Amino acid sequence: MSRLHARVGTLAHVAAALVTAALVAAPIASAAPGAPSASPAAATPPKPMASASAAPSTASAPAPTPMAAPPTGMPSGDDEDDGQQAMPAGHPATGAAQGEAGPGMQPPRVPRDQSGASASVPAGTIEAVVLDGADKPLAHVPVMVSLLRQSVAQGDTRSMRTELSDANGVARFPGLSSTSDWSYQVKVQNQASEPNAMATYSTPPFNLISGAGWSVRIHRFPVTTHIDELIAAFEIAVASLEIREDAIDVSMEFNLVNLSPKAWSLGTGLDLALPSGFKGLRAAETMDELKVDSIEGKGARWTGAFAPGQWTVQYDFKLPYDGEPGYDVDLDMPPRVLNAAVRVAGRKGTQVKVDGFDAPREDIAPNGARFMTSMKRGDPQHPIGRLSVHVSGLPEPGPEKWVAILIGLGGLLAGIYALARVKPESAAPPPVRKRMRERILEDLVALEKAHRAGEVGPKGYAIERAKLVDAIADTLADGGGVLPSAGQGASDPKKKGKPSAAEA
């Protein structure tokens, strides 16, 4: 599905400016009626902010990354110039008690975490300062450091150390290795008043450097399960569909921005229904605990929390396909999706319609692949709740393939019938049965190749393969197999110049 994602970054970049303006300039409505309630997908953590999750974990990232610059459009941590615009008159209050802006005031300031090497910290030591959303130190807070050692010979080793912050909000972790095979990640948690509403904030993973320690400033924001309390929304959702031989590959990508100094916890989970028959749901791997899991026969369940910042959630799955000229797919959306795009890979003549979306645009990739892209732009008062995709004009299997399948099945059934009627005294001896087995195995290999090449459909493949397997089993049974008649290759006594095994 890589080529289907080729333009996702561009779509998200275009939508980001629109969404940031919409979030600040207009009141945000609650999720549309019928949308799942907010209570692994795997997610990419926001670069400048702390990452958030549903529960603590002993796992850290497989590869360390440096602290990144803030994403475009995110609030600055500079007290002198926040780089933000004032809220327009009439914007609803968003919780001034929590440090958020009311009518006519600036949008909330979200302080950034900091993480980096420091000569003022002893070598081999991590010094973490825990702060609240107003940059005030938090005392007696459990601070965790996740440790990961990567070794080709011994495999990965994971562990966790925990210390309480002192009166100044500082927790220290001495005696750590600065070799490149060790990486670290600092985490703190916060619990909301609602049950099961937990958020874990974490730094990106890092390596210590020789001769210096590491300094971390990490914020523990409040937590809520109600997205309507936040200036937050999914700036874009992208669904990519590609038809395969006997399945439809579906890939989902969601980009969320949270401009509030508060985390959105999914509580016990956010459930999104998937089309009937879906299978093989896989979420992008991540270091954090924000995940998407498959609910058999129902759909996908998101668990975790979205901290302040920007997030990307990605997962894919498969849908059954039997070669029909068209198919329909319905995909549920999370709350507050402001923009959506549907991309379908198809051949010339493929037609795509998405209910309520713009007419599709055809794109041709450099390799000649064709894509139909349809988009819809919503707003905070009218979020996008569902994608109803209708695809038609797909090529149907030609008659030649089905004629070949029928002929093959007919010959196979005739052979099985003859095999079933063989008398015990005419059963083939072991050497002949071995040669018969080899021939059947060759047919089985040929069937597999034809199936993978799309020359045999899933139903015909399943039937014919079962028959071949039964034929092999018969050659293994005592008294199984039927003696080949004269002229059938190596088993023909005339070609060997000596009596057959049966005659001997």
DSSP per-residue letters across 370-433: EEEEEEEE-BTTB---EEEEEEE-PPPPPHHHHHHHHHHHHHHHHHHHHHHH--GGGBPPHHHH
* Mean pLDDT to the nearest integer, 49-75: 36
Taking only Cα atoms into account, the Rg of the chain, rounded to an integer number of angstroms, comes to 31
Query: Which of residues 285 and 316 earns the better pLDDT score?
Result: 316
Q: What are residue 189's DSSP bridge partners?
A: 200
The most confident of the ranges 97-101, 467-471, 496-500 is 467-471
* Mean pLDDT to the nearest integer, 79-89: 40
Distance CA 373, CA 289 (A): 32
Residue 78 has pLDDT above 80, yes or no: no
Q: What is the pLDDT of residue 404?
A: 55
Neighbours of 272 (CB within 10 A): 22
Share of the chain above pLDDT 90, in %: 44
Residue 497 has pLDDT above 60, yes or no: no
Residue 24 has pLDDT above 60, yes or no: no
Task: Work out the mean pLDDT of the chain and round it to a whole number.
Answer: 75
Sheet of strand 182-191: strand arrangement: 157-164, 142-149, 182-191, 198-202
Residue 304 has pLDDT above 70, yes or no: yes
Distance CA 113, CA 194 (A): 26
* Mean pLDDT to the nearest integer, 306-334: 92
The token pair at 176 is: 């750590």
Query: How far out from the chain centre does Cα 358 lie?
Result: 26
Residues with Cβ within 8 Å of residue 14, at least 6 apart in sequence: none
Distance CA 437, CA 471 (A): 8
The token pair at 360 is: 């599709």
Which residue reads 């360390």 in tokens? 64
Distance CA 301, CA 451 (A): 34
Query: How far out from the chain centre does Cα 142 lie?
Result: 31
Which residue reads 């979306």 in tokens? 357
pLDDT tens for each residue of 434-462: 778 788 888 888 888 777 766 677 777 88
Task: Quickly state the pLDDT bin for 425 (edges 50, 70, 90).
Answer: very low
Q: Rounded to a whole number, what is the distance in angstroms from the first to the last CA of the chain?
A: 61
Q: What is the pLDDT of residue 492?
A: 42
Q: What are residue 216's DSSP bridge partners?
A: 115, 128
Distance CA 483, CA 189 (A): 75
Distance CA 261, CA 198 (A): 15
Residue 351 has pLDDT above 70, yes or no: yes
Distance CA 504, CA 491 (A): 13
Strands 223-224 and 299-303: unpaired
CATH T-level fold of 51-68+105-220: Immunoglobulin-like (2.60.40)
* Mean pLDDT to the nearest integer, 342-362: 90
Query: Which of residues 363 and 176 earns the better pLDDT score?
Result: 176
Query: Which of residues 34 and 233 earns the better pLDDT score?
Result: 233
Which residue reads 């009218």 in tokens? 382
Nearest to 55 by CA among 272, 261, 295, 288: 288
For the domain bounded by 232-392, which CATH number is listed? 2.60.40.1730
Domains of the chain, residue spans: 51-68+105-220, 232-392, 405-496
Residue 44 has pLDDT above 60, yes or no: no
Could you check whether 51-68+105-220 and 232-392 share the same CATH topology? yes
Residue 91 has pLDDT above 60, yes or no: no
The token pair at 486 is: 């004269």
Q: What is the pLDDT of residue 137?
A: 97
Query: Which of residues 75 and 240 earns the better pLDDT score?
Result: 240
Residue 344 has pLDDT above 50, yes or no: yes
Task: Quickly state the pLDDT bin for 112 (edges 50, 70, 90).
Answer: very high
* Mean pLDDT to the nearest integer, 148-160: 92
Distance CA 181, CA 52 (A): 25
Nearest to 227 by CA among 3, 31, 78: 31
Q: What is the pLDDT of residue 279?
A: 94
Q: What is the pLDDT of residue 164?
A: 97
Query: Which of residues 145 and 456 earns the better pLDDT score?
Result: 145
Q: What is the pLDDT of residue 380?
A: 85
Distance CA 213, CA 259 (A): 32
Query: Which of residues 235 and 33 earns the better pLDDT score?
Result: 235
The token pair at 406 is: 């029928």
Sign of CA dihedral 52, 53, 58, 64: negative
* Mean pLDDT to the nearest integer, 382-407: 74
Task: Quickly state the pLDDT bin for 467 (edges 50, 70, 90).
Answer: confident
